[in-house]
Amino acid sequence: MKTLFKLAIALLVVHALVRFVPPYWNFTQFRWALKENAAQWREHTDPTVVEQVLQLARKHDVPIGPEHVQVRREGDHLFVEVDYTAQIEFLPSMKRDWRFSPGVDPWTLGGLKLP
């Protein structure tokens, strides 16, 4: 009986990991891609930046739309913020909302042009 209980707990932990790791991995890959590409976006218009973010999201299987992306500029800063919630089933029949908020703040210098 004790072994059966340990096996059940182990299976629940494995189930939770199988459900959580893929969305978190996609989020991490997306966040890294945002950081790598954001410095190139400062010369683009805001709608172009949003489209670039959505292309990266599709590439990394991140379920967002234009309403999840916010672009703002303050002085020499370009802020790109993405906020979305994914529902993850940690235990069978127990789903929880998990909030993902990747955002970047690449420092930009006025007058510097990228090739």
Structure tokens at 40: 């190139």
Mean pLDDT of 8-30: 91
Q: What average pLDDT does this structure show over 109-115?
A: 43
For residue 21, what pLDDT is reported?
A: 92
Burial class (CB in 10 A: 0-12, 13-18, 19+), 9: exposed
Beta bridge partners of 95: 89
Tens digits of per-residue pLDDT, 48-94?
999 999 999 999 999 999 999 999 888 778 889 999 998 888 878 88
Pairing of strands 84-91, 77-82: unpaired
CA atoms within 13 A on the CB side of 31: 12
Query: Would you say residue 106 has pLDDT above 90?
Result: no
Q: Are 41 and 30 in contact (CB under 8 A)?
A: no
- With 0-12 / 13-18 / 19 or more C-beta atoms within 10 angstroms meaning exposed / middle / buried, residue 110 is exposed
- The pLDDT of residue 111: 42
pTM across the whole model: 0.77
pLDDT given at position 112: 41
Q: Would the pLDDT of 107 be above 80?
A: no
